[in-house]
Copies of this chain bind each other. A is one copy, B any other.
């Protein structure tokens, strides 16, 4: 090969621009920088270019070019990920394929309860399109105003409604995917039942851009709840919180749509740092829960929640509770719960663990993990909260804002080992809803069995033999 690398690069960019035209290539340096860095400013990469195809056909042409030239591709949605999965490495060799121009909602079918959306559609826009036809799309995350449905699918996003509606995987019926060699797989089926071969859809969902580019999806819609009530609850132990969860499931069934947990330390942190958040209960409690019921039927929901709480108090599970019947009261509860992210950012540097356990193992785990962390770091500020109804804890440790980087990285290693070892002992997950990305890639290898890693490698090798799809992530 006699041509120089810069020449090849300019030839590649020339061919890219022939495919996507001028609006399809990001030329502004600041804009490119925004794509090269994640929103938390934690991961910094350098791409060779940022391409924004406007259609599935353009994505396919871009992928054919990358297949031919062996240019690695990092697919990027809203760039709101938590694990660096959509940030390129620093080599300057990887292409960012942004889905930001794949914004079409191709079909809304209220009778079939489905919506067909392109990968770059914002989650909030999917929710709105559902609401316009009196339906409900339940996926709900803090970043819903800026994350894309393609990113949700790539990471199998979780959120606050998993207890009732499942993860993104459970909400998808069909996919359209551009394969690493540029072929298009049209799996956009809007069917509740289809047993005609291997679950290709599920293979691409959660694969974090390492097997192909999701360009569109058929998503499930649900009956729209017209009534909601919520309660804020204080308990003296995880065991009692768990008993309340079980009782709520028994009595309220599918109406129980959220069961969020926060420790007193988490609530205190929110009260310190979120100015307009107000304490929901008069006294301190070791554990707090935000419990929400929803129904498609107006009547009886408040009575059901109150009855459940009375029963729980009589049984000694609950110390105190406040019921929020109107929108303002419910929103005030959610403001507290959602304030935890911002409070952590303001208060310190968080060492995060995004873990999931069998729900029955939560009380013992929390006791053990608290003790184990205190043993290696007696002054640790543990901020533990999460989606308890799904067994998903964000078991974080807050370090002072001025902690030097070397101390941070040492402590991260130390605490990851302590916490993740305990998770592994109860057959839990070290990446519940935030994905593996760059953040947990090495950690994953510590805990996955050799057989499972080998199976994943085989699949990767089979579908992406040239390893051009998001190299350095997940596996």
Contacts and interface: CB of A to CB of B under 8 A. Distances in A.
Interface of A: 109-114, 134, 155-156, 158, 162-163, 166-167, 169-170, 179, 183-200, 202-203, 205-207, 211, 223-225, 242, 246, 249-255, 295-297, 299-300, 304, 356-361, 387, 390-392, 427-436, 440, 444, 448-449, 451-452, 455-456, 458-463, 474-475
Contacts of A295: 253
Given A391-B112, A459-B462, A432 B360 contact: no
Given A190-B358, A197-B474, 5 more contacts: A112-B361, A156-B195, A179-B455, A223-B250, A459-B462
Contacts of A162: 192-193
A303 to B, nearest CB: 10
A109 B427 CA distance: 14
B300 A246 contact: no
A199 B191 contact: no
Given A451-B179, A459-B459, A206 B200 contact: no
Number of chain copies forming the complex: 2
A304 to B, nearest CB: 7
15 contacts: A109-B360, A110-B246, A158-B193, A184-B451, A187-B452, A191-B429, A193-B390, A193-B432, A194-B431, A195-B431, A196-B436, A197-B444, A197-B452, A198-B203, A252-B297
Nearest to A443: B196
A82 B297 CA distance: 40
Contacts of A187: 452
A19 to B, nearest CB: 20
Contacts of A358: 109, 112, 114, 190-191
A134 B250 CA distance: 9
Contacts of A250: 134, 223-224, 296
B452 A356 contact: no
Contact of A431 (B185, B196, B463): B196
Contact of A461 (B440, B452, B462): B462
A431 to B, nearest CB: 5
